[in-house]
Amino acid sequence: MKLDLRSINRCVRCGTCRSVCPVFEESGWESANTRGRILIMKGLAGGLKADADVHSSLNTCTTCGICTEKCPAGVNPPTLVEEARKELVAHGMVTKEQAELSKRILESGNTMGDRGERLAWLSDRGLLKARSDYVYFVGCMNSYRYTKTAKNSFAILSRFGATLLPAEQCCGSPLLRTGFDAGELIEANVRQMKQMGAKTIITGCAGCYTTLKNNYPAYFHISSIPEFLAEHISELDLQPLPIRVTYHDPCHLGRHNKIYEEPRRVIEAICDLREMKASRENARCCGGGGGVRSGYRDLSLRMARRRLKDVPEGVDYIVTSCPLCIRNLRDAGAGEKVIDLVDLVARAIGKQCL
Amino acid sequence: MNDILKILQDIFGGRVSASPAERCCYASDASQVEGMPDYVVRPESTQQISRLLRFCSERQIPVTPRGAGTGLAGGASPVRGGIVLDMSGMRRIVEIDIINLQVIVQPGVVADELNLALKPHGFFFPPDPGSSAMCTIGGMISNNSSGMRSVKYGTTKNYLLDLEVVLADGRTIHTGSKVLKSSAGYDLTGLFAGAEGTLGVITEAGLKIAPLPRSRRLVLACFPDAETAGQAVISVFSAGITPSACEILDRLTCRVLKRCDPNLAMPDDGDVILFEVDGQESSTAEEARQIAEICRPSALSVRVAASRKEMEDIWAARRLVGAAISRLDPSKTRIYMGEDVGVPIGQIPSLIRKVQQITARLAIPAMKFGHIGDGNLHVALFIDVMDEEQWQKLRLAADGIHRAALELGGTVSSEHGIGMARAGYLPEQLGEEALLVMRSIKKALDPANILNPGKLGLEQKNEI
């Protein structure tokens, strides 16, 4: 098996990651923390058979990156985990859930396997432009599940001239995180972006953001909605709201891409912000990423429930900027208390859907 | 299914694993000592452990207790196979008894978590290994761990009031009580501290706690060489000041620290001593002033850390510096060997000189830092682990460092333990007769030799 032994060997097994791994907090078995996963990768390189337990060790990592943040030796475990998953897939070792996910996405172009029209949320197709500097990349979740957020995002971004891809496909994130190839999807999206003359791609999904930024060819400037909103804050005409909120840092926006200040700046322009018990670099993962939600739903929700314990008392909303986090935190019991940053902004602008 | 697995499942329910992947994760700690266990169990109660040990004694199955697996000498590596007993799930703080200045904890409680729980009460558990964010109290007791503040506060052993221990045959004993001192018979509590799980399994611990100091101050003094630095330390003690930490960092360590955190205002043109004092606001200010005054004539530079934040940043960087080298040079990995020697404090400059000679001769880069206030020097050696020749040099260097410490009347381990990595040096360090006494104790308590076999030099043959 082809694994990056040079990087794996940088691990000194000090166990720092063991004290922060959110999966390990739920499981308690060494194979469910970063150090264990690295030992298993070493084992695979040395002949350990890739059985179901190897899969559940590697596939339960949410790639949240808190271990990277804390690792004194500078190891980047999420990258190693993703590479190991890729190797397993390349050798035909795939779990049932992984196979189903991959089939679903490749057949339907979206994570949910939804056969419906991706732009069904858009009331007027006449708003679409053939060419634009700015493209709003909606993502699967907001296209099919959180369509109000898609509407609000588009309403705000179209003020700045943004348009949509005519036939947006899944960005490929769920495939890439679980070890599959996403070349076809990436190609289909990039082709449209180029045809439209796009210079900046803006997305409101942390999963899409990190994928567009780190896995796509670097033809375009990639911006997250929090970055874009913070940059244009004076043009938004935000009205203060008499509420108090907290902010959950999505791992793929925060730790993976260091976007901590921008969403906070936007929130503080609208209302009172109280930090969660663990935030920014130390934010606990909601459990929804890295393919864990689709493969290990119960574990994923347990992590989300633990994350909800970090919410400070007396807040009206838990704001975040990732539909995967929203879904998991809502399903874990917080319900409609969890909202997207865009929806907060839409409210502060005056109209829900403008 | 074989009958051992069946019995383990009967005792531990679902908290048993015989999976190759799981066993692979429990084959080592942070040392280079490895051994593949046949089973891993994660107990939740003393009763389960009692049943397990009774069964294992009858069947002569090795049992290796383990905390968080952060040990540096192979103490938790199951070198004879058998069962790994992962104690980290027993992590309840049973009682915080402020009136009696103590806490009762299960062994899987992590040191920092205990201190987090004690903080609102204004108390703390003083032993502070660099791994305090992850290491368990059980592991700390079993290795008699300590850290930077041991110069004032002592080691884990100094805080043990009572241990609940399951013996090899399944009997459970208490070694003490809630009284803060007792003069009643052999010191059984002390016997289990540092025993690395070879005499029994600790299932609960009564620990003495101390009031949190109101104030801390840090003095950074940079000296032209380790001898001058060592002299300054002795002068500070002679002036009637007991620092709460007294750390030496050599030039390379300071450079690595600065590379890791460029904001650290750390001198790197000499050997640096970090003196920390704690206590009341007024006393720490005065003691810091006095330390600076004592150091000034012989130091290249002296200053008091400007803020609490600066002090915390320096300590945070110091705690992690050992593993940080690969951030700077990804081709190098820190290997924990020869990393924990100790000598009488007057011999620290000689030890540093010897280590310098050994590592220079073998051309292995080495950071030297440690607790100069109690004679404990940590040598951090780095190699390219893909290069077998460098491994050989590393082994030679570690052996040289251990022997250098012994020649100076020291110890091969001050706070990390012996495990298997250093077992071969015990006859020389303790003397054959003393080691025979240890073996007699082991035989009396664990005649079938099921508890963590292969460790502490208790078996006749131990190779270096």
For the stretch A219-248, pLDDT in tens is 999 999 999 999 999 999 999 999 999 999
Count of domains in chain A? Answer: 3
Write down the CATH number for the domain with range B3-88.
3.30.43.10
Average confidence (pLDDT) over B173-181: 97
Question: Average pLDDT, stretch B271-277?
Answer: 96
pLDDT at B155: 98
Which domain, by its residues, includes A189?
125-231
Residue of A nearest to B66 (CA): A30
Q: Is residue A277 within 8 angstroms of chain B, CB to CB?
A: no
Mean of the per-residue pLDDT values of chain A: 95
**Domain B215-323 -> CATH class:** alpha beta
Average pLDDT score, chain B: 94
Nearest by CB: B25 against A12, A30, A74: A30
A137 plus A220 within the same structural domain: yes
Q: Does A53 have pLDDT greater than 50? A: yes
User: Which residue, of A231, A264, A282, is where some domain finishes?
Assistant: A231
- B325: pLDDT confidence band, cut at 50, 70 and 90? confident
**Interface contact B42-A43, CB threshold 8 A:** no
A201 and A252 fall within a common domain: no
Whether residue A221 is found in the same domain as residue A240 = no
Based on the domain organization, do A61 and A79 belong to the same domain? yes
- The segment(s) of chain B belonging to CATH 3.30.70.2740 are 329-407
Q: Within B219-369, where are the H helices?
A: 226-238, 251-260, 281-295, 308-320, 325-328, 348-362
Residues A335 and A245 in one domain: yes
The pLDDT assigned to A352 comes to 47
3-state secondary structure of B120: helix
Q: Is residue A102 part of a domain?
A: no
pTM of the model: 0.94
Question: How close does chain A come to B290, measured CA to CA in Å?
Answer: 35
**A6 pLDDT exceeds 60?**
yes
Considering only the beta carbons, identify the residue of B27, B28, B333 that sits closest to A9: B333
B90-211 CATH fold:
3.30.465
A46 touches chain B (CB under 8 A): no
- In angstroms, the separation between the Cα of residue A346 and the nearest Cα of chain B is 40
**B464 pLDDT exceeds 60?**
no
Give A139's pLDDT tier (boundaries 50, 70, 90). very high
DSSP per position, B146-198: --TTHHHH--GGGGEEEEEEE-TTS-EEE---S-S----SS-HHHHHTTSTTS
Are A18 and B386 a contacting pair at CB < 8 A? no
A335 and A262 assigned to the same domain:
yes
Q: Do A152 and A180 have their domain in common?
A: yes
Q: Which residues of B touch A67 (CB under 8 A)?
A: none
Q: Note the pLDDT tens digit of each residue in B353-365.
A: 999 999 999 999 8
pLDDT at residue B269 greater than cutoff 50: yes
- A14/B131 Cβ within 8 A: yes
Q: Does A76 touch chain B (CB under 8 A)?
A: no
Nearest CA-CA partner of B125 in B116, B134, B406 = B116
For residue B378, pLDDT beyond 70: yes
A29 in reach of chain B (CB within 8 A): yes
* B100-136 CB burial, b ≥16 within 10 A, e <16: eebbbbbbbbbbbbbbebbeeeebbbbbbbbbbbbbb
**pLDDT one-digit tens code per residue, B37-52:** 999 999 999 999 999 9
- CATH fold, domain B329-407, is Alpha-Beta Plaits (3.30.70)
Of B28, B134, B386, the CB nearest to A6: B386
The last residue of one of the domains, among A177, A196, A231, is A231
* Candidates B27, B42, B334; nearest CB to A12: B334
| CA atoms of A183 and B13, how far apart (whole Å) | 45
Evaluate if residue A353 carries a pLDDT over 50. no
Q: Name the E strands within chain A.
A: 134-137, 200-203, 221-224, 244-247, 272-274, 317-320, 338-340
Chain B residue closest to A38 (CA)? B25
Q: Least CA distance to A11: which residue of chain B?
A: B333
**Residue A206 located in a structural domain:** yes
pLDDT tens, residue by residue, A143-175: 999 999 999 999 999 999 999 999 999 999 999
- CATH for A55: 1.10.1060.10
Give a yes or no: residue A115 inside a domain. Answer: no
Show the tokens assigned to A275: 């930090």
ipTM of the complex: 0.94
- CATH number for position A306: 3.40.50
* Contact between chains at A13 and B27 (C-beta distance less than 8 A): no
Residues A188, A224 within the same domain: yes
The per-residue pLDDT for range B63-82, each reduced to its tens digit, is 999 999 999 999 999 999 99
HEC assignment per residue over B381-417: EEECCCCHHHHHHHHHHHHHHHHHHHHCCCECCCCCC
